[in-house]
Structure 1
C-alpha cells in the first residue's frame, strides 16, 4: 500500500512538473498570447472592487456640450480661453494643465482677419498674444502630443523645453526600453515659448484597445520628456531632477524628490482607476468663463482642461467602461501618485508567477489525486476562488500585479489532468475489481454491485440463500502423494478453476476456499430468484465434470503418484461430496476495520456444512435438505437419505440425495447404471423407507437386503446403514419410533 502511494505521488508530481514546464515556457516565450485574457480578468477584478473615492486634489475643467453650445464650436477664440485662465487664477487655483494642444493660430483673432484683407490699423487685438501672455502670467502648463507611429515628414521635429533634468541611473547603454517618438505636435511657438512647461498627453491603448497604462516618460531625439501628469507632479513637488532608475529588466521606477513611482520596464504606470466616468469633480468651462463656480473648492488644486464632449473625440475605453474622457485618465494618474496608491509589476513578479504555476500545479494535482473522485469539482472551485482572492488582495491592498490567467489555467489544467488520470485509474481499478470479483461472483451480480452507488448491497441483512459446501475425498492421501507443495497447488488449481467457473456461470458467489473445500452461496449479495435451482444445476454440472478431470489427471505426469495411490485404494483421483441447504441467513460485510469480507453466517450455513460432511457417511455425492428440495422445479432423480437431527440441533431434518437430471438416456450418467435401472432401484428403496418409517422393520429389511445384492446398485453404504438399523430395531424394538436418527458427530 505504501509503495502504491509513493508511486502514485511520484507519477502525479512528475506530471505536474511537466505541465508547469509547458505553461512556464509559454509564459516566458509567448507572453502576448494570453495577455488580453489576463487583462480582461483584471478588469473584472476592478469592477468587483467598484469605485473608490479620489483625494480631490484634481478636478476637470470640462469643455462639455453646454460650453460648446454657448461659446461656439471648438476651438474657441483664444481670448475666451484666456478669460477662463484668468478666472481660475483669480480663484487661486494651484495649477492648470491642458489636455489639448493649440497647434494652429487662432483663425478668429481680429489681427488675423485684418491681415487677410490687408487692413492696416494700430492696436488690433491678437488673441494668440493675449493667450500667450495669459499662459505666462498664470500657473498654466501646456499639453502636446508625440508622434509615435511613423517618421512623418509633415510632423514637427521641434522639441519642447522642460525646466528639469532627467537622469537615467543604471541604464544599459545598449538597450532603450522607453517608448521612442518620431516627431511632435506642439503648440504654436508664441504660446509654447511663453509657457513655464508642458507635458505630453499621449494615452496609448493596449492591443485590445483599452487604456490600462500610461507612459510617464517618452524618449525623443536622445532626450527624455515627461507626461502631462508627471510634469504636473514635478512642478507641485518642486522637483528639479527626475531620476529614472533601471534594473536588468528595464525601467524600475521614476523618482520625484521623495516620491518613487513604480513603472513597468517601458516607463509606463499602470493606472489604478478610481471608477467610472465623473469619479472626479467636473466643472463646466462655461461656468468658469462666466465666473459662476465655487472658488473655495478649486483653491490650491490642480485643474485639468479637457473635454467630455463626444464630438471632440477624446473618449477612451478603460477597465470600467468603453466611453471615458481621456482627460480623466490623467486625473487618475495624478491621484495615484499623490496618494501613493500604485499598482505595479515588481521586477521579481515574473519569477513569482512561475513559482505560483509550479506550486499550484503540484498542490492541485496531489490534492485532487488523494481525495475522493466526487470532491474534484469542489477542490477545483476552492483553489480557483482562493487564487482569485489572493490576486485581488495583492492587487488592491499591496498594489502587486500578479498574472491571473496562468494560475487559473494551471488549476484547471491540473484538475482536468488529475481527474482524467483518476478516471483512468478508476477504470483500471474497476477492471481489477471486476477481474477479482469475477472469480467469486457472476457477471450479472458483479455489474449490479458496481452500479450500486451507496453500497447498500453490502450492508448486513437477513436474506434467504442457498449455501454450497464441497470437499475432495481422501485429500490427506492426495496431498501426501504429491512430490512437493507446488505440484499440490497445481493439482488444486486444476480442480478449483472449473468448479469455480461453474458456480459463477450459475450466478453463484464463491465465499472462500478452505484447503480443498469450496464454500459458495446464491442470492447474495445480488438477487438470484431461482437460487436453489441454480445451486443444484451447478452441483450436478460439477459432478458431471469430475469424470473429465479425472481423465486429465490420469494423463498428466505431474500427478502420477496420486493416480497410483487412488488406484491402489480403488477410487478415482478426484471424488467430491457436496452439501446444499436453503434458509434465511445473515449476509453482509463482516470483519475488522482493517480487513473485512462479504460473507453469510447463521444456522442454514452450518447445516449446509453438516450435509456435506454426511456425504461420506451415506456414500452420496450430493446431499440436500428438504428446504432446498421444496424450492426445486426441475426434473431430478432424488433419493431420500434420512430423517436426522444433526449435532447441535433438536429439530429433525430430511436429507435427500440428488443422483442426476431426470432426462433422456442420451444425457451423461453419474452412475454406472442406466437411468431406468436407477429408477427401479429407487422405487424399491423408497418402498423400504416407507416401511422403515412405520416401524415395519422386517419387511423393510427384506427389500434393503434384496437391493443390496444388486451388482449395479448405485449406493452400497445406504443399504448397509438401513440393514444394520432394521436388524437392531428387530432385536430391540423401539418405543414411539418416529424414524429420526440422531447424529452425535459432525460427519
Structure 2
C-alpha cells in the first residue's frame, strides 16, 4: 500500500511538472497570447472593487454640452478661453493644464478676418495674442500630441521646450524601451512659445482598445518628453532634474524629487482607476466663464481642461466602462501619483508568476488525487476562489500586478488532468456500469440509478406529476417543404435544442421525442414540489422563445422553402401548441428484459395529450386542466375555454388557456396587445361565459358577437365556437343544461 502511494505520488508529480513546463514555456515565449484574457480578468477585479474616492486635489473643467450650447461649437474663440483661464487664476487655482491642442490660428479673431478681406485698421484685437499673453501670465501647462505611427515629410518635426533635465540611469545603450514618436502636433507658435511648459496627452489603448496604462514619457529625436500628467506633477514638485531609472528589463521607475513612480518597462504607468465617469469633480467651462462657481473647490487645486462631449470625440474605453472621457484618464494618473497608491508590475513578477504555476500545478493535482471523486469540483472551486482572492488582495493592497490567467488555467488543467487520471486508474468499473445503464435509460435516470443502486427508487409507483405535451403546427407542410431529410433533421434540432434546455432548466424530465412532438413531465424521478408552476413557466418561456427561433429560421438559407411556404399560408415557420395536466400517474421503469425506460403512464398523461391536441380546436397556444390551474400560485392571465368530456372519459374537465405572465408590461409579446385591452376583452368574455353556463344564451350571444367584432381580439376561434353553440341552443333549447361539451375526437 505504501509503495503504491509513493508510486502514485511520483507519477502525478511528474505529470504536474510536465504541465508546469508547458505553461511556463507558453508564458515566456508567447506572452501576447493570453494577454487580452488576463487584462479582462483584471478589469473584473476593478469592477468588483468598485469606486474609490479621489483626494479631491484634481478637478476637471469640462467643455460639456451645456457650454457648447451657450458659447458655440468647438473650437471657441481664444478670448473666451482666455477669460476662463483668467477667472480660474483670480480664484486662486494652483495649476491648469489643457487636454486640448490649439494647432491652428483662431479663425474668428477680428485681425484674422480683417486681413482676409485686406482691411487695414489699427488696434484690431488679435485673439491669439490675447490668449498667448494669458498663457504667459497664468499657471497654465499646454497640451500637445505626438505622432506615433506616421513618418513622412508632411509631419511636423518641431519639438516643444521643456524646462527640465531628464537623466537616464543604468540604461542599456543598445536598446530603447521607450515609445518613440515620429512627429508632433503642437500649439501654434505664439501660444506654444509663451507657455512655461507643456506635456503630451497621448492615451494609447492596448490591443483590445481599452486604456489600462498611460505613457509618462515618450522619446522623440533621442530626447525624453513628459506626459501632461507627469509635467503637472513635475511643476508642482518643482523638479528640475527628472530621473528615469532602468533595470535589465527596461524602465523601472521615474523619480520626481521625493516621489518615485513605478512604471512598466516602457515607461507607462498602470492606471489605478478610481471608478466610472464623473468620479472626479466636473465644473462646466460655462460656469467658469460666467464666474459662477464656488472658489473653495478651486483654490490651490489642479484643473485639467478637457471635454466629456460626445461630439468632440475625446472618449475612451476603460476597465469600468466603454465610454469614458479622456481628460479623466489624466486626472486618474495625477491622483494616483499624488496619493501614491500605484499598481505596477515589478521586474521580479515574471519569476513569481512561474513559481505560482509550478506550485499550483503540483498542489492541485495531489489534492484532487487523494480526495473522493465527488470532491473534485469543490476542490477546484476552492483553489480558484483562493487564488482569485489572493491576486485581488495583492493588486489592491500591495499594488502588485501578478498574472491572473495562468494561475486559473493551471488550476483548471491540473484538475482536469488529475480527474482524467482518476478516470483511467480508478473509475473504469463505474464507467462500465454507466454504459450498461445507458442502453436502458436516459442520462438523467442513469445518474440517479447510480446514486440509488441499493433501493427500489425506480420501481413502478404512483406519484403526482405534471405532464407536458407540445406539437409543431403544420409539420406535414414543413416536412414537405424541406429539400432533404438531413435539412429536416437540422430544422428539428434548431427547434428541439432550446425547447429541451428550457424544460431541463425548470427541473423537468424530457421523456421522449415523437417526431416533432415533445413529451416531458415534472416531479419524477426527483421530487419537484412546485412541479405545476415550473411546467407553466417552462411553457411560457418556450412560447416567448418561438419569436426568436422564427427570426433565426427566416435568416437561415437552409430553410428558405419553409419560410416561403409559411408566408404563403400566413403563419410563422414555427407555431406550437402545448397541453399541461396534473394528476396521479404510474411512474417507474417499464419495458422488457431487452429494453426498458423510466416513464409515466395513466389517465393524466392521456388527458395531457388531449389538451395539447385541442389547442388547434380552441386556437390557443397553451391549454391546461383545472387540476393544473388549482396548483398555480404565480400571476398569469387566464381564459376559461370550456367544460368538456374528452374522448374515452365521462367526467367533465375544465380547460383553461394561459395567455401570458400577468406582468406590468405595456404589451404582451405573445398576443401583441396591451395588457389593458386584453383584460377588457377577458372581462367581457368571462361575463358571457357565466351567462352561457346559466343558459342565458341570448345575452351571452350578444357579448360574444360584440367582442368578435373587435379587430384586436386575441382568439377568433373561441368566439366562433360559442356563437355557434349559443345560436344552436337558442334554436334548440336544452334540458338540464350543465355547460358540458363532449369532444368525440382527439382534437
Question: TM over 0.5, yes or no?
Answer: yes
How far the C-alpha of 1:152 sits from its partner, in A, is: 3.1
How far the C-alpha of 1:455 sits from its partner, in A, is: 8.3
How far the C-alpha of 1:452 sits from its partner, in A, is: 6.3
1:355-434 map, 5 Å = 355-428=355-428
Confirm or deny that 1:140 pairs with 2:140: yes
Aligned to 2:272: 272
Cα distance in 1 for residues equivalent to 2:256 and 2:300: 20
Cα distance in 2 for residues equivalent to 1:101 and 1:78: 12
Aligned to 1:335: 335
Cα distance in 2 for residues equivalent to 1:399 and 1:79: 44
1:287-686 map, 5 Å = 287-428=287-428, 453=451
What is the RMSD computed on CA atoms of the aligned residues? 1.8
Confirm or deny that 1:32 pairs with 2:32: yes
Cα distance in 2 for residues equivalent to 1:425 and 1:451: 23
Structure 1's unaligned 5+ residue stretches are 435-447, 458-747
Runs of 4+, deviation exceeding 3 Å = 427-434, 450-457
How far the C-alpha of 1:34 sits from its partner, in A, is: 0.6
Aligned to 2:73: 73
Alignment deviations for residues 675-715 of structure 1 (CA, whole Å, 9 cap, x no partner):
xxxxxxxxxxxxxxxxxxxxxxxxxxxxxxxxxxxxxxxxx
Cα distance in 2 for residues equivalent to 1:233 and 1:431: 67
Cα distance in 2 for residues equivalent to 1:63 and 1:209: 24
Structure 2's unaligned 5+ residue stretches are 435-445, 456-747
Q: Which one has the largest radius of gyration?
A: 1
1:84-95 map, 5 Å = 84-95=84-95
Give 3-state SS (helix, strand or coil) of 2:427's partner. helix
Give 3-state SS (helix, strand or coil) of 2:146's partner. strand
Give 3-state SS (helix, strand or coil) of 1:252's partner. strand
Aligned to 2:118: 118
How far the C-alpha of 1:288 sits from its partner, in A, is: 0.2
Aligned to 1:177: 177
1:92-103 map, 5 Å = 92-103=92-103
How far the C-alpha of 1:150 sits from its partner, in A, is: 1.9
How far the C-alpha of 1:454 sits from its partner, in A, is: 7.2
Cα distance in 2 for residues equivalent to 1:181 and 1:452: 67
How far the C-alpha of 1:125 sits from its partner, in A, is: 0.6
How far the C-alpha of 1:258 sits from its partner, in A, is: 0.6
Aligned to 2:254: 254
Cα distance in 2 for residues equivalent to 1:101 and 1:281: 22
Query: Residues 431 and 259 of structure 1: is their aligned pair in 2 closer, same or farther, counting only changes over 3 Å?
Result: closer
Aligned to 1:51: 51
How far the C-alpha of 1:119 sits from its partner, in A, is: 1.0
Alignment deviations for residues 376-408 of structure 1 (CA, whole Å, 9 cap, x no partner):
000000000000000100000000001000000
Aligned to 1:222: 222
Query: Residues 71 and 371 of structure 1: is their aligned pair in 2 closer, same or farther, counting only changes over 3 Å?
Result: same
Aligned to 1:561: none
Alignment deviations for residues 463-493 of structure 1 (CA, whole Å, 9 cap, x no partner):
xxxxxxxxxxxxxxxxxxxxxxxxxxxxxxx
How far the C-alpha of 1:154 sits from its partner, in A, is: 1.7
Aligned to 1:504: none
Alignment deviations for residues 520-555 of structure 1 (CA, whole Å, 9 cap, x no partner):
xxxxxxxxxxxxxxxxxxxxxxxxxxxxxxxxxxxx
Cα distance in 2 for residues equivalent to 1:79 and 1:223: 34
Cα distance in 1 for residues equivalent to 2:53 and 2:284: 21
Give 3-state SS (helix, strand or coil) of 1:194's partner. coil
Give 3-state SS (helix, strand or coil) of 2:344's partner. coil
Query: Residues 452 and 101 of structure 1: is their aligned pair in 2 closer, same or farther, counting only changes over 3 Å?
Result: closer
How far the C-alpha of 1:433 sits from its partner, in A, is: 13
Cα distance in 2 for residues equivalent to 1:417 and 1:352: 24
Query: Residues 366 and 109 of structure 1: is their aligned pair in 2 closer, same or farther, counting only changes over 3 Å?
Result: same
Cα distance in 2 for residues equivalent to 1:193 and 1:126: 16
Aligned to 1:21: 21
How far the C-alpha of 1:153 sits from its partner, in A, is: 2.1
Query: Residues 229 and 5 of structure 1: is their aligned pair in 2 closer, same or farther, counting only changes over 3 Å?
Result: same
Aligned to 2:152: 152
State how many pairs are aligned: 443
